[in-house]
Amino acid sequence: MEDIRAEDFADHVMEKEKDSNHGFEEEYEQLALESHSLSQTVASAPENSAKNRYSNVLPYDWSRVALKPPQEEPGSDYINASFMPGLENPQEFIAAQGPLPQTVGDFWRLVWEQQSRTLVMLTNCVESGLVKCEHYWPLDAKTCTHGHLQVTLKGEEVLENWTVRDLMLQHMQEQNTLSVRQFHYVTWPDHGVPRSPDPMLAFRKMLRQWLDENVGGGPPIVHCSAGVGRTGTLIALDVLLRQLERDRCVGPFSYVRKMRESRPLMVQTEAQYVFLHQCILRFLQQSGQAPTDNGAAFENPLYENV
């Protein structure tokens, strides 16, 4: 499927939305048909089963992020996380599942070994009475210890739709530290989508500004609960908006297909796929590159509880 020119994008979305999003439904079904039979040998090994939150979301062997094993025990290099392609860099992001109680230490090892200064969290720890992610950072100024790593909360700014936390990671053996900023979006329902693109676009703008100003270190680590739905949507939004600014055209279908070669189920629902397009259109409207007369399309009552 060809990329869509910026000036044609509003018409493209309008066409796909006809007959209750029939065009988007067909497009998304086509993505689902292109499943990849890539090996997931390490993720599905018996010693690693307890490290996976969902049995149907396993990283592919070729793109998984391997930990440096501290000892030669089976599975000690495994974490449910995958390198994800960006605009040019084939490993621009890491998409990960939300830590489990037994994988919090591995998660911080991942942050340390990759020297990732940015965490993006797109889930709440508990949603609709279900645990979606372990609370892996300190609740207050008291330091948490995970193996050789100590984590300290240095600062926190709480806003309506997100919270920004500054954390300090210290390696007790190496006596080195790593400053980490966590961007935590708190109003995105699991499997569903936010009611409006505007807060998500503001969140992405803040995140992109931070990443552009802090170019050192490893890939940003993005996670939700499974590390595919909300995680895939946010990564896709960031990459596609930069493609739009660079090339004056955008290819949501092509990029989501590319993501799924690196990690299964990225952009997990049709609702999220539609929302991705709505965010791009809203971005074009905000920058005066698309008409604003179909703003009603941005309310998402149909998808709110998908």
Extract the tokens encoding 193: 């989508």
Element holding 171 (H helix, E strand): strand 162-171
Choose, from 144, 224, 249, 279, the residue flagged as catalytic: 224
144 is catalytic: no
Q: Residue 261: how many CB atoms within 10 A of its CB?
A: 15
- Residue in this structure with the two tokens 């062997």, named with its chain if needed: 61
3-class SS shares of the chain: helix, strand, coil, % to 5: 40, 20, 45
Close Cβ partners of 287 (under 8 Å, ≥ 6 residues apart) = none
Extract the tokens encoding 17: 């939305």
Distances (CA, A) of 237 to 87, 90, 207, 216, 252: 11, 16, 12, 22, 9
Catalytic residue set: 224
